Amino acid sequence: MALFALALASCARPVTPATPPAPAGLERFYGQRLSWGPCAGLATNGGDRAAFADPALDCARLQVPLDYAAPGGRGAQIAVLRHRTPAHKIGSLVINPGGPGVSGMGVAARLSGSHFGAEPFDLVGFDPRGTGASTPHLDCRGDVDVVPNALQRFDTDPSSQAVARTEAISRESAEQCVRGSGADVLANSGTRDVARDMDVLRAALGDQKLTYLGLSYGTLLGSTYAEMFPRNVRALVLDGAVDPRQSYPDEVVAKWAILQHAFEVFATDCARRPSCPLGSDPAQATTVFQGLVRPLIDRPLPTNDPARALSYQDVITAMHFGLYLPEHWPALERALTGLRAGDGSALRARLESGGGGPFNVIRCLDGARISDHELAADLDRRKRAAAPFADPGRGASPALDTCAFLPVTPTLQPHTPNVSGLPATLVISTTGDPATPYQSGVNLADELHAGLLTVENTRHTAATQGVPCVDDIVYSYLVDLKLPPPGARCTPPDRK
C-alpha cells in the first residue's frame, strides 16, 4: 500500500532524543534487559494459545516494584509480547486496548498480522499489573461473583430488604478481593501504577521516547502517562476518550445516555425487517423492550444450562456489550427474537464478563467510589432517566456497590490535566460511540492541546479497524508526527 511505502521512506530519519534519566531509587528497574523467549507459556485462553504460537512473536516479563513508594519491597512481573518488524525500525509502538484490565498481549498478537504489524515499529502489548499473564494476580472471584459497579448495574428493587441483600453481596465481594488478591496488590493496581510500569517498559525496550496507542480506557492511561512523563513522550494516539475531568457519576450518566442512543439506532435498523423483535416503530422500541425484559425481574427465564437462568440484569449486561459494535447487532437481534419466543439461551451465551475482577478494582482506585446512600440513589435516578430502555421501573435504589467496601484509597481523582512539555498528540473521537461520548474526546483534545480527528460512526473506537481514512491519518502521525488539519473528519463507508 502507498502508506507503507511512505512509512518506509520516513524511517530513514532516525529519532535520537536524549535518554530520560531513571527516577531515583528505580535505576535497577529502568536498567533491566528483557529476556525474550517463546510466548506460548504466557497464553491465558485458547484463542491466545493459537495466536501466541506465531514464531514472529516473542515474550518477556518486565520486573517492576509492586509499590513504587517502596521499590525495595515486593516486586511484580508484567507480561510483555512483541512482534518484531523487519523494517528500518523507528522504535516500539505500545498498545493498550482498554478495559481497564484487557490483555494488551492478546490484542498485539492479533494485530501483528495486520497493517500494524507491517509498519516500522516493533508492535508491543502488555497485560497491565494484576491482569492476564502478569503477576501477582488481582483475584476477586470466589464463591460470590463480584457485583458489577454502576457502569453496568441496575438494581431492580429499592426496598430496604433488597438493598441490604445487595450490599451484603457487595461486601462479600470486596472481602473476596482482599482474600484472593492481598491488600497490597489491591492498593497498587490503579492507573497511576500502570503508567509508571509503562515508563519502565519504555526504558527496557530501549526506547528513548514512548510511542503509544490507547483505546477506550487506554486513553486515560495515556493521558495519565502524559501528565507524569510528558518529556518521555514521542507520540500518543488516544482513541475513544475518557475525560479525566469528568466526575464518576457524570461519566456513568453520560455513558448510559449514549447507550440509549445506540439502542435507538439499533432499533431503527431492526425495524426495517418484519421479524424485528422490537417491532416496526422505532419510537416504541424502548417500551417494547421494557415489556420484554421487565418480567425477568421476578421470573428469570430458564436456558439450556439448568444452573444459569437468564435474569433481567443478564439481559441488560448483554445489551450493554452487544450495542458496542454494529457487526454484533444481527446476533443481538436474533437473541432478542429468541427471548420473545421464551428462549433465553442465545442471550445467555452472549453474556460477557465485563463488570467484575480487575475492571472493578481499577475503577475503584481511579475514583469510582460512592459511599453515601443518598448519592447512590441520585446516581441511579439519573441513570434511569438517561437510559429508559434499561430502566426496571421500580424506583431508584440507594444500594452501594463493591467499591464502597474495598479497603483501598483512590489514587486518581477527576481533574484537569496539567501537562507541560508534551509534544503534538492525536485524539480520535467517534460521534456515535456507544461507550465513550464524543464530547469527551473533544474535551481531552482541548485539555492536552492535541489534534482532533472526528469519525462519523456508531461504534466504539476507530483505529485498528481497517478504515483507510482513519488509518492514513494515524500512520502519518505515528511515523512522521504529522497531525491532521483542524476540523478533520472521516466517514467510514460502512457507517451505521
Point out the catalytic residue in the list 83, 261, 320, 460.
Answer: 460
Helices 312-322 and 285-293 meet at what angle, rounded to 10? Answer: 140
Residue with cell 528513548: 208
**Alpha-carbon gap, residue 198 to 255, rounded angstroms:** 28
Residue 423 · residue 233 · CB < 8 Å: yes
**Cβ atoms < 10 Å from Cβ of 438:** 18
Query: Strands 75-83 and 57-65: what pairing?
Result: antiparallel
Q: What is the grid cell recorded at 95?
A: 498498545
3 state SS of 365: helix
**How are the residues of the chain apportioned to helix, strand and coil, as percentages rounded to the nearest 5?**
45, 10, 45
Query: Strands 75-83 and 121-126: what pairing?
Result: antiparallel
88 annotated active-site? no
Residue 136 · residue 143 · CB < 8 Å: no
Point out the catalytic residue in the list 433, 440, 471, 476.
Answer: 433
- End-to-end CA gap in the chain: 27
Distances (CA, A) of 63 to 182, 200, 278, 294: 19, 9, 52, 49
Torsion on CA atoms 374, 377, 379, 383, rounded to nearest 10? -170
**Alpha-carbon gap, residue 469 to 98, rounded angstroms:** 23
216 annotated active-site? yes
Residue 340 · residue 387 · CB < 8 Å: no
Residue with cell 481499577: 362
Point out the catalytic residue in the list 216, 311, 440, 476.
Answer: 216
Distances (CA, A) of 141 to 146, 296, 358, 394: 6, 25, 10, 29
35 annotated active-site? no
Residue with cell 473506537: 461
**Cβ atoms < 10 Å from Cβ of 113:** 13
Residue 471 · residue 463 · CB < 8 Å: yes
Cα–Cα–Cα angle for 46, 52, 58, nearest 5°? 155
Active-site residues, by number, are: 216, 433, 460
